[in-house]
Amino acid sequence: MPSTEQTSNGSSPKTYPLIINNKEHKTKSSFEVKNPSNGEHVHSFSSATIEDTDAAIKAAEKALPAWKTLPPNKKRDIFLKAADLLESRSAELQKTMSKETGAAESWAQFDTSLAPEILRDVAGRITTLSGSIPQTSQEGVSALVFKEPYGVVLAIAPWNAPHILGVRSIAFPLAAGNTVILKAPELSPLTSLGFVTALHDAGLPEGVLNLIAHSAKDAAEITNHLIAHPAIKKINFTGSTNVGRLIASAAGKHLKPVLLELGGKAPAIVWEDADLDAAAMGCVVGAFLHGGQICMSTERIIVHANIASKFEEALKSAVAQFAPNDSPEPVLINAGGVTKNQSLLSDALSKGATIIHGDAQAGTGAKMRPVIIKDVKPEMEIFQTESFGPTVSLFSVSSEEEALRLANDTEYGLSSAVFTRDLARGLRFARGIESGAVHINGMSVHDETALPHGGVKSSGYGRFGASGLEEWVRTKTVTFKD
């Protein structure tokens, strides 16, 4: 990791630089990064101006011609070496991530362990990009279809799974021959610096990957400047639907393509023939893993009426095992997340919802334990709002049609789960649920590089994962007379 600079006195938290052209880039101002678990100012990070941003764009433009023509085996070797470096540095990376985001040790371990696998998987796919030689309708004329990188790509990654989603945001564009500017989340910029440094140490050439960050107050100005800049050819963003709409709107104004992976309101359907204990644990982990701060988190549990009372007891048992009262409280990214969930629960309870597990108003600072409620109705805010926290609602239905109506009665469509021993029924549900993924007898939180990943409706468009390389090349048709 690059050397650090202390602020005004020796005991002050360190200030970390941007990385432009593979070099430390210091700025005139910085912003504080605090540990949400205790409010401690753990370090500061350099805050980019328009001038700093333009320097990153210039570096990426300059690096593009050599990078896009670099043989795929050489790109592959850089990715594989970077994966090894990430693994060797995992303890340090986990420590940084936990300080910046308040993540539990188990989540930090998972996040850092999957990131190297993304690099290895993408490395193995680099040579699969290929064009074609189609038949033409004109006699004596032949054609070639090339696949070429877009150019300079803007990647915007979130804080909740900073290694997985950060590495994913840059690996696919880089592998396809694009150069990248990574706009790090202001809540976890040092985590982003960790994996960017690993790629540079692995041999990524100067300017191919540049890291910028900025204070929250400068977000709109810097982001709009990046999107509008003529050198930026495509954008990927993972984050909230509200911000995704703003980015899509700005990109649309400049006719630039965007890959968006946004929010979710994932349903889990539990049918009467399901293994209730396994389904209950799948719903609990799917709802409360990482404090529910995952875009694929289960937010609606839809259970058949014939087993509703039995499943409710199984659910209570599962949550007691997964998050016992004597275990540490889950830490959300900030106190605002707790306030939001408490407000959603308060509104629901005032309109007739009841608590199955937990305390709707318990929670101090950024810490909050899981809460399960039932008797939720459409007029309650929690029915439609993504909680992005440790709350989940339980519903009872009597038919497959009713289950599907409830599962689809949301603007979101990222992930979902179905629990049943009848595969034919599970596949019927899978065809009917409006989401980018359906996991039969598995929790809604499921993402791997071997599979396409993305949503429908307000959960975004475009796909990471197995089809991810194709997202980052465009075709060029060439015809010639024989």
Catalytic residue positions? 261
Nearest partner of 437 among 423, 420, 418, judged by Cα: 418
* Three-class secondary structure of residue 421 per DSSP: coil
Beta strands in 244-311 (DSSP E): 258-261, 266-270, 298-304
Q: For residues 247 and 156, is the Cβ–Cβ distance under 8 A?
A: yes
Q: Based on DSSP, count helices (H) and strands (E) in the chain, helices before strands.
A: 14, 21
Q: How many CA atoms lie within 13 A of 339 on its CB side?
A: 4
Beta strands in 216-330 (DSSP E): 232-238, 258-261, 266-270, 298-304
Nearest partner of 169 among 225, 79, 237, judged by Cα: 237
Query: Sign of the CA dihedral 364, 368, 374, 375?
Result: positive
Which residue blocks in 102-204 are alpha helix, DSSP H?
105-125, 162-175, 189-201
Q: For residue 364, which amino acid is it?
A: T
Distance of alpha carbon 112 from alpha carbon 64, whole angstroms: 29
- Could you tell me how many residues make up the chain? 482
Q: For residues 297 and 443, is the Cβ–Cβ distance under 8 A?
A: no
Ramachandran bin of 213, using left for φ above 0, alpha for ψ from -120 to 50, beta for the remaining angles: beta
Q: For residues 220 and 133, is the Cβ–Cβ distance under 8 A?
A: no
Nearest partner of 151 among 261, 241, 64, judged by Cα: 64
